Structure 1
């Protein structure tokens, strides 16, 4: 019986860790990137204009990953979900539907871990971009053997490292579009 309980506990912890990862990884941004990347890179055959557009795409998506890490949501007393940004002063509601009491707003203040998650989110997006052969061929048309090895190993290392950090230091934030927990 004790073994069954420990197995159930381990499975529950695995699901909880997976939920934290899904909440932090830039899935919407990556989807937009993967749709636009083949178009803007011209299938990996970039001229000056397509290279500039690809640079802008990577920068905008990276910035999106960073900024969206600071979004959060909560349920008001009527059960309506309200969205906003965590700030140094508390919670800034962006959809204007409700007023959050000051003491509750303070619980949403920015913390050091928020910035760590934002940086790791950008790193994860960078790893995804480094796996995109169209982008690689756009920026490095003929990579050397060392560059090819680096472009193969580095994204995996970044992904593993950030996944471990996300799992070890989970967030309590609920970005826009993610389900609310019992805290809300």
Structure 2
């Protein structure tokens, strides 16, 4: 039996289905998934699997602070493709994009440095950063090892709150990120074609 022939979509990158799927695929870059994964990797050993001594409490607090800082700052990272097709990574500032891997051999016009002012910080960037930070802190405090380390004396009501809060806050932040999208394309963003 012959397979059905699928006609290609006209202007596939600009088609609404492509844009919707690209937005859904890149939602992982807006949510603090990488930071949560890194935290969950180190949290069991830093907190001694929830059996915390004073040193474990300090190590866990430092881990939460470092991951929270990284989560907040990663909301301001962006990606830029210059006229030669080279991919540049940077962080948004009030003046424009500060590029990490800027090649000093290319001129300002060739690398698009004069156009980097369009990547300035905006209000929506701070909204996304604070929502990501809050979401990470909710997930970090909802971790069972962190709860055993810092909140071992709380009652069953608080345990129920800690268990259900990450799911609800994740759904709410996903809704907010979908309603208030950002044009910021962080490091590792999958769909860079819409940002060239």
Q: Same fold (TM over 0.5)?
A: yes
Q: Does 65-74 or 150-159 show the bigger shift?
A: 150-159
| 2:156 counterpart of 1:145 | yes
Q: How many residues align?
A: 176
Q: CA RMSD in A?
A: 2.0
1:90 — aligned with what? 96
Shift in Å, 1:20: 4.0
Q: Which one of 172, 181, 184 corresponds to residue 193 of structure 2?
A: 181
Q: Does 136-145 or 124-133 show the bigger shift?
A: 124-133
> Secondary structure of 2:84's partner?
coil
Deviations 1:16-62 (A, max 9, x none): 44234212012222221111000001000001000111011111101
Shift in Å, 1:152: 2.1
**TM superposition score normalised by structure 2:** 0.81
Unpaired stretches in structure 1, ≥5 consecutive residues: 1-8
1:38 — aligned with what? 44
1:135 — aligned with what? 146
**TM superposition score normalised by structure 1:** 0.86
> Secondary structure of 1:175's partner?
coil
Larger Rg: 2
C-alpha separation in 1, matches of 2:141 and 2:18: 33
> Secondary structure of 1:182's partner?
helix
